[in-house]
Amino acid sequence: MSACGAGMQWQRALSLLSELGEAELEPNAISYSAAASACEKSARWQQALLVLSEMQQGSLECDVICCSSVISACGKGGQWQNALSLLDEMSSTSVEPTAISYSAAISACGAAGLWQDALSLLGDLRKARLEPNVIYLQRGDQRVREG
């Protein structure tokens, strides 16, 4: 599934995830994360949310990699509300957001022109004592670099 993501083959990654169940193999957090990542790389936010939903229905807790991929997919799809909601959900569960999780949400806000929200999240990242990595916020034709 990871190779499918690298090759922008999100449909094939989802098909492989489905085939695991048909082959009576139990998908795990790693397989769901790989499928979510494949969706994220192709900016398929709706499919990424479905992967997350299936994972939760299978009584698996979303790990930080999967959650961050879905946040990023939502951001790429202009779904900043979903991205922020997922980041909030992470904070209220046992899954601690990482700098990557925050960066994905910050990018989602930046792409939507929500600069105050993006800067607020950057402050939250620092309050969580996480070290910001290089974060690029898109603003029209400009890119603002933080980190």
Q: What is the pLDDT of residues 28-76, one digit of tens each?
A: 788 888 888 888 988 889 999 999 998 888 778 778 989 999 999 999 9
Instruction: List, for residues 15-30, the tens digit of each pLDDT value.
Output: 787 888 776 778 878 8
**Mean pLDDT, the chain, as a whole number?**
81
CB 108 within 8 A of CB 80: yes
Residue with tokens 């929500």: 114
Task: State pTM to two decimals.
Answer: 0.81
**Cβ atoms of residues 65 and 33 within 8 Å:** yes
3-state helix, strand, coil in the chain (%, to 5): 65, 5, 30
User: Across residues 110-123, what is the average pLDDT?
Assistant: 91
**Whether pLDDT at 147 is above 80:** no
Residue with tokens 């980041």: 87
- pLDDT at residue number 143: 45
CA-based nearest residue to 77, from 47, 99, 119: 47
pLDDT band at 138 (very low <50, low <70, confident <90, very high): very low
Contact 16, 4 (CB under 8 A): yes
Judge whether residue 82 has pLDDT over 90: yes
Read off the pLDDT band of 106 (50, 70, 90). Answer: very high
Query: From CA 121, how far away is CA 79, in angstroms rounded?
Result: 16
Residue 139, CB half-sphere, CA atoms under 13 Å: how many? Answer: 14
**Longest pairwise C-alpha distance within the chain:** 49
